[in-house]
Structure 1
Amino acid sequence: MNNCTVREIFKGVDFSDADFNIAQSKFERISVKKGDILLIAGQSVPYQYYVEDGCMRTYHITDTGKDVTIQFAIKDWWISDYTAFFTGGKSVLNIECIQDAIVYRLAKQSMEELYVEVPGIESFFRIKMERFFGSFQRRILSDLALSAKDKYKTFLKAYPNIEKHIKNYHLASYLGITTESLSRIRHELAHE
């Protein structure tokens, strides 16, 4: 792992040289190709991933076989099946690379060690999780209250640089609409 990336991952954390070396030793850099699957539903979840470059997504396959995108992760985002990661249960989500990516994986045990060895990192993760929880809550509320067009506009604000890198059906499944509805919404917005 290069020195720059540890500082990018933990923005706002002041590291002593010893803390920096500890944090650097806990991550493993992985190159992932488009189409690669990092996690399959039903597996244990020993890692969470920091995305340095590229695009990943988590998705769930319903009992009827429908593919539902839950999250996209682009540069400086984290991704995992967090329920399984934190509880030790089996994953209900899959993680797929949808654009060639460089990710840094962090094992749960390594994260726990970092909490003890570099206390500023525990605060960093607590703040990240608070924001993550708030983001998911906003998404649930928007799914309940917003029109399809407004959900799409909200998506564009949250992910301004990835629409061109993802397939229409991934975006439609994330928004909970059909690809035809997505095309209609784009057409309407282009003519406003």
Structure 2
Amino acid sequence: MKYTLILSSIALVSALPAGSSPPTGKTFSEGGLCDRFQQAGLPDNSEACLGTKEFCEKNFKQEKFANAADCLASRKSAAKPDSKSKGAAKPPAPVDDDDRPVWGSSPSPEKPFLEGDLCLRFQKAGLPDNSEACLGSKKFCEKNFKQEKFANAADCLASRKSGPKAKSPKSKGPAKPPAVEDDDRPIWS
């Protein structure tokens, strides 16, 4: 019985191709979450931020792979990153002299327009208060359109889903600050 178990284990291990790692179970990620990571003050070198292709090119050793191709192959549906599930493909963004994307014309809106009523919460939590959630989309785009890879503030604002005049009918003004306990810590609900 002992020998059967040992022999079957050896057979399983030898069945794996040499130099390859078993699939990790991770799925292919398109990335695009860097702005959310930056707003939250989190490091932006993760796979969710960079996307699987760039992440594997930069971090395959960290993931214990021999090369970037093995890292990509370990992801589910890595062979088809441009699947039908995403809908029609977006046209490539124009780039500047340093090959950084720059939107010369208004792209389709992707981010929500933020009013910027969360500064108090950011300050109380000790987070940087220069994010779009704190400043609001209008001020953020005026100050940071180059950081967002836009040609100007108008293009940055046009990339938001709704303009500054679009408020929901249920809204009765800016959001109230969080309730504060005696020791000035916010009570998060």
| TM-score normalised by structure 1 residue count | 0.27
Q: Which has the higher helix share?
A: 1
The structure number with the bigger radius of gyration is 2
Q: Quick check: which one's strand share is greater?
A: 1
Whose relative contact order is higher, 1 or 2, with alpha carbons under 8 Å and at least 6 apart?
Answer: 1
TM-score, with normalisation over the residues of structure 2?
Answer: 0.28
